[in-house]
Amino acid sequence: MEDLEILSSALKIEKTGEEFYRKIAASCTENETRRAYETLAEDETDHAVFIQRQLDALTGGGDWQVIAELEDTPPLDIDTPIFEVNVELLKTIPEEASEEDALLFALGVEVTTYELYMNAARLTAEGPGREMFLKLANAERGHFDLLMTRYEAQFGYPR
């Protein structure tokens, strides 16, 4: 997969994630979980901006850009394993989704996005592009951890 294809896929995922988190936050009855969804929506908006900036630079004939806003986010090691969680995450969300369904779906979204960024980093040469993907993977891992904390607080460990 080429850099532009990876970035286009990532942009779509981030925008879809932002829409999902805003929608689910609006219907969430538990305050802490609602605030978590609102924070995740804001993060996904930021990630989309970073990715769009890279797309604009690369399609304009430029090279990968350093994303200053990610400066404080450490990049993951390229061999960091993907989440080791024995949980049945939802691939689709049911029509009449419960808050538990929404959390399980959101966890699956974060795992998918994490995997996309880790795979993109493996396919991208050393430099700002790879570093951006590794930092975004770390951010998605943080999202997963936040959602798992909310899940455990409301429902116990996932079944």
Give 3-155's CATH code, choosing from 1.10.340.30, 3.40.50.150, 1.20.1260.10, 1.10.150.120. Answer: 1.20.1260.10
| Tens digit of each residue's pLDDT (9 = 90 or more) over 38-94 | 999 999 999 999 999 999 999 999 899 888 998 998 988 887 766 555 556 666 776
Domain definitions of the chain by residue range: 3-155
CA distance 62 to 111: 31
Supply the pLDDT for residue 108.
Answer: 85
**Does residue 99 contact residue 147 with C-beta atoms inside 8 Å?**
no
Supply the pLDDT for residue 88.
Answer: 63
